[in-house]
C-alpha cells in the first residue's frame, strides 16, 4: 500500500522487523474512514524515528481492516503537545493523539472515555497504577502508551578509578561526589533543574527525601512541605554549594545537556531512564544502575513516567479508533515498541513477557521499580500549570543564595491558584 506521508519525518526505509498482524478483523460498515494519528517521536534521528514504527503499524492494521486508513503525523517532544493544542483550537482535532497529557481535553469533554473505545480485555490489561493515573474524576480517558522509571545512573569506569561504591543514602552520595570531584570529573552529580524537564528531577528528589508533589493519599498538593523544603535545602548546601554539580548552575542545566555530558563520560552520577542507558552504551560508557538513594537508605518510591494515548470525539470515529487501539495494544505490538526505544510496556501481559525473557534483561531493574513508582498527578487539570511553575522556579531553590522555602511556597501558591481555576470551570 502507498502510504500518504503527512509528518515532519519521512519514513522511506523498510524495517527489518514485522509488526504483528494479530487482532485484525472484519470492518463491515467502516468503509471510507480515514483516521488521523498525531504522535510524539521517541527516536533521536531519522534512522530510528517513531514515524517508522507507526507507519509499519498502520500498514499492518490496514491490511486486516479494509476500509480504514490511518495517516500518521509525528513531531518532536518539544512540539507535539503544542501542535495538538493548536489543532484542537482550530477545530481540527486528530482522531488519536499520543502525547504527554490528557486531563485538559477530558475536562473539556473532547475525549472518548476508554470504556467506550476498547474491548474489556484491552482495558483490563493495563497495569493498574497506570490505569488509575489515566483517570479524571474516576473516569479513564488516558490510555497509557509508554512508561519508564528513574534509577541512579553512574559511570562504572569513573567509580572504579575513584575507588567508590554506588551510594545507598544521601551521605554516601555526597561522599562519592566529593571523590569524583577530586579526580577531576566535570559533573560529579549532574542536577538538571533547567526548564526542559525539571518537574521530573524535582519529583525524583522530593520522593528521595520522603515527600512529593501531593500527600501520600493522592490528595492536595504539598509542594512546600517540610520534607520538600529540607530536600532542596540539602541540595543547595551539600551538593550545589560545594561545587559537586558541575560548572553549569542546575537552574541553567537541561536534561538533554546532562544526558549528552553523561554519554561523553563527563558525568559521575545522575538520574536516568532506559533510553539514556542505550545511548550511553552506544558511546562506550559502562553504565551502573541502582535505586535512587534516600536520606537514610533507598528512597521510599521511584518516579514513574507515563505518556498517553487519547481519542478525540470531534470526528465521530469511535468504533474505528477502538479497533485500531485494540490492535495497537496487542502484546506483540507493545513489545515491539518497547524493544525499539527501551521503553517499559504498559500492559500486564507484555510486562510479564518482558520479565520472563532474558533478551529484555537490561530493562528488568526499571520494570521491577514500576509497580511501586509514583507518577505525576497527570489526571488533575491543574497539573499542566503546576508543572510549568516548577520549570520556571525550581532552579532558584538551589542557587547559592536561594531560599528553598520561599521558592516552594511560590510554586505552591501557583498550584492553589490552578486548582481554584479548575474548580470554577
DSSP of 23-58, one letter per residue?
A: T----TT-TTEEEEEEEE--SSSGGG-HHHHHHHHH
Q: What confidence category does residue 318 fall into, taking pLDDT thresholds of 50, 70 and 90?
A: very high
Domain boundaries defined on the chain: 33-147+306-365, 151-301+381-424
Q: What confidence category does residue 18 fall into, taking pLDDT thresholds of 50, 70 and 90?
A: very low
Q: How far, in Å, CA of 42 to CA of 366, rounded? A: 18
Angle at the Cα of 371 from the Cα atoms of 369 and 374, rounded to 5 degrees: 85
Tell me the fold of 33-147+306-365: D-Maltodextrin-Binding Protein; domain 2 (3.40.190)
Q: Is the model's pTM score more than 0.85?
A: no
Least confident range from 32-41, 199-208, 209-218, 399-408: namely 209-218
- pLDDT at residue 44, as a whole number: 73
Average pLDDT of the chain, as a whole number = 89
H or E, element range at 270: strand 267-272
Indicate if the pLDDT at residue 16 is higher than 90: no
**Residue among 150, 149, 300, 271 at smallest CA distance from 210:** 300
More confident residue, 224 or 18: 224
Indicate if the pLDDT at residue 24 is higher than 50: no
**pLDDT, tens digit, 9 for 90 and up, residues 127-173:** 998 999 999 989 999 999 999 999 999 999 999 999 999 999 999 99
* Crossing angle of helices 331-341 and 348-355, rounded to 10°: 60
**pLDDT, tens digit, 9 for 90 and up, residues 31-68:** 589 999 999 998 877 788 999 999 999 999 999 999 99
Residues 229-251, mean pLDDT to the nearest whole number: 98
Domain 151-301+381-424: homologous superfamily in CATH: Periplasmic binding protein-like II (3.40.190.10)
**pLDDT, tens digit, 9 for 90 and up, residues 86-118:** 999 999 999 999 998 899 899 999 999 999 999
Q: Do domains 33-147+306-365 and 151-301+381-424 have the same CATH topology?
A: yes
Query: What's the alpha-carbon Rg for the chain, to the nearest Å?
Result: 22
Amino acid at each position: 500500500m502507498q502510504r500518504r506521508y503527512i509528518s515532519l519525518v519521512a519514513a522511506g526505509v523498510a524495517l527489518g522487523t514485522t509488526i504483528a498482524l494479530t487482532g485484525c478483523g472484519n470492518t463491515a460498515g467502516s468503509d471510507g474512514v480515514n483516521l488521523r494519528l498525531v504522535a510524539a517521536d521517541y527516536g533521536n534521528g531519522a534512522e530510528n524515528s517513531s514515524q517508522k514504527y507507526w507507519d509499519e503499524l498502520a500498514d499492518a492494521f490496514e491490511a486486516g481492516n479494509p476500509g480504514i486508513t490511518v495517516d500518521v503525523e509525528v513531531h518532536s517532544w518539544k512540539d507535539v503537545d503544542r501542535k495538538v493544542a493548536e489543532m484542537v483550537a482550530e477545530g481540527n482535532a486528530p482522531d488519536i493523539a499520543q502525547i504527554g497529557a490528557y486531563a485538559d481535553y477530558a475536562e473539556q469533554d473532547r475525549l472518548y472515555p476508554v470504556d467506550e473505545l476498547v474491548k474489556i480485555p484491552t482495558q483490563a490489561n493495563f497495569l493498574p497504577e497506570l490505569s488509575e493515573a489515566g483517570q479524571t474524576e474516576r473516569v479513564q480517558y488516558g490510555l497509557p502508551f509508554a512508561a519508564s522509571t528513574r534509577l541512579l545512573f553512574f559511570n562504572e569506569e569513573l567509580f572504579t578509578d575513584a575507588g567508590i561504591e554506588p551510594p545507598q543514602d544521601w551521605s554516601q552520595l555526597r561522599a562519592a561526589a566529593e571523590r569524583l570531584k577530586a579526580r577531576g570529573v566535570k559533573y560529579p552529580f549532574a542536577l538538571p533543574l533547567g526548564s526542559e524537564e525539571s518537574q521530573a528531577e524535582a519529583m525524583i528528589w522530593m520522593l528521595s527525601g520522603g515527600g512529593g508533589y501531593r500527600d501520600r493519599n493522592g490528595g492536595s498538593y504539598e509542594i512546600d512541605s517540610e520534607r520538600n523544603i529540607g530536600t532542596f535545602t540539602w541540595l543547595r548546601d551539600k551538593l550545589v554549594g560545594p561545587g559537586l554539580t558541575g560548572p553549569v548552575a542546575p537552574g541553567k542545566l537541561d536534561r538533554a545537556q546532562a544526558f549528552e555530558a553523561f554519554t561523553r563520560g563527563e558525568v559521575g552520577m545522575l538520574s536516568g531512564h532506559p533510553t539514556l542507558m542505550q545511548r550511553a552504551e552506544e558511546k562506550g560508557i559502562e553504565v551502573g544502575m541502582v535505586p535512587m538513594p534516600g536520606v537514610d537508605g533507598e528512597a521510599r518510591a521511584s518516579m514513574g513516567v507515563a505518556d498517553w494515548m487519547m481519542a478525540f470525539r470531534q470526528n465521530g470515529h469511535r468504533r474505528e479508533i477502538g479497533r485500531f487501539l485494540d490492535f495497537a495494544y496487542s502484546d506483540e505490538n507493545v513489545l515491539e515498541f518497547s524493544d525499539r526505544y527501551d521503553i517499559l510496556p504498559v500492559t500486564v501481559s507484555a510486562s510479564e513477557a518482558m520479565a520472563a525473557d532474558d533478551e529484555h534483561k537490561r530493562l528488568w531493574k526499571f520494570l521491577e521499580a514500576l509497580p511501586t513508582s509514583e507518577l505525576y498527578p497527570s489526571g488533575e487539570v491543574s497539573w499542566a500549570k503546576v508543572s510549568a511553575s516548577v520549570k520556571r522556579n525550581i532552579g532558584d531553590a538551589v542557587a547559592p543564595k536561594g531560599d528553598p522555602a520561599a521558592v516552594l511556597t511560590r510554586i505552591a501558591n501557583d498550584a492553589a491558584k490552578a486548582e481554584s481555576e479548575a474548580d470554577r470551570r
